Amino acid sequence: MVSIQKLLLILTFFTSFINPTTSQPCNSYTFPHNLNYKSCKNLPVLESSLHWNYNPTTSIVDIAFKKNNARDSSWIAWAINPNSKGMLGSQALIGYRKSDGNFKAYTSSITSYATMLQEGNISFPVYDISGIYVNNSMMIFASMQLPQNMTLVNHVWQEGIVSSDGNLKSHALTGSNLQSFGTLDFNSGIISPKTGEKKMSRTIIRNVHAILNTISWGTLMPIGVILARHLKSFEGSKGSIWFHLHRACQTIALLIGTIGFGTGLYMGNHQGLHNTPHRCVGITIFTLAVVQVCVAFCLRPKKDHKYRILWNVFHLIVGYTTVVLAIWNVFKGFDIFGGDFIWRNIYGAVIGSLVLVGLILEVVTWIRLWKKNNKRTTQELGA
């Protein structure tokens, strides 16, 4: 029993050195320049803490937002959303370390999910905004004039990466970056994270979106193209199995993909998960797929029609374009959501296998065609 207690004591001792910053109480930190804050809270995610002094007479709150274990290439933000919860409409304090080593702190009003965090005025006065980066911690300081009697606020905090050209890149759309919001009462000091059911709902919808689109646009569509390209040559011109398999595969892909497309629109419009390139390419894929199906079912001329060759060219170009964009967008989606690379690697292996099968079938098809032409030439010479 004694040995177990000693072992636990040793483990506790060493654990305290593994991540000392995150376990440090917020009120134990000493700020530079003799700055003192009466109230503070460790925020539930992103290794951050908020420190403040609130004057109910003037409605002025002095804020210090501190991000621990911050890289020097990171940007940080803390914001109040006066009208709703979440990112859109937030009135933000932004800070990052510039390439010359100086720290830039400024305000930004978040009016779009595609924001570049441009500097600008926010909806209430901000005084003496500044920031520092010291000992792997990034901090923003400011004084804000809140509206009268506004003590309970919705707040948001974030971190992201500053690119080599000095632009602030979008924050990650996974894990803690989707949980960094809640409510704060400057009077009582109560911070309530709103990460329960909403977090679960976001995660479920995100996973459903990824699974449906990976299966439909990213897998079934390429399989349908391979069936149309190669099974037809094995069956001959009179065979119809390839046609029914191709049509069934692409129709199922469109039906599943439509649901996946809908979940993407929902996440963008209602949950603030928005990436402009991914969204635009997704809309393009869906549009091309719908046009392709409509043209295939309703406007396909007979084989001997004079416009059949034009229809074939159109069908081929739209089909291959849709598949290429779909594969690119699936990989883009994995990059956006981050997380475990195993799923990206598994999908890469699936696509690699389909490409390999397609190449093998292409070689076999050309060999069969070459033999067929040789046989025909021999017969003509013999005749």
Distance CA 192, CA 44 (A): 9
> Residue 331, class by beta-carbon neighbours within 10 Å (0-12 exposed, 13-18 middle, 19+ buried)?
middle
Terminal alpha carbon distance of the chain:
100
Identify the CA nearest to 345 among candidates 355, 335, 358. Answer: 335
Q: Mark the binding-site residues, compressed into ranges.
A: 209, 246, 278, 315
Identify the CA nearest to 278 among candidates 219, 330, 324. Answer: 330
> Which residues fall within 8 angstroms of residue 36, CB to CB, at 6 or more apart?
53
HEC profile of the chain:
CHHHHHHHHHHHHHHHHHCHHHHCCHHHCCCHHHCCCCEEEECCCCCEEEEEEEECCCCEEEEEEEECCCCCCEEEEEEEECCCCCCCCCEEEEEEECCCCCEEEEEEECCCCCCCCCCCCCCCCEEEEEEEEECCEEEEEEEEECCCCCCEEEEEEEEEEECCCCCECCCCCCHHHHCCEEEEECCCCCEEECCCHHHHHHHHHHHHHHHHHHHHHHHHHHHHHHHHHHHHHHHCCCCCHHHHHHHHHHHHHHHHHHHHHHHHHHHHHHCCCCCHHHHHHHHHHHHHHHHHHHHHHHCCCCCCCCCHHHHHHHHHHHHHHHHHHHHHHHHHHHHHHCCCCHHHHHHHHHHHHHHHHHHHHHHHHHHHHHHHHHHHHHHHHHC
Q: Mark the binding-site residues for heme b, compressed into ranges.
A: 209, 246, 278, 315
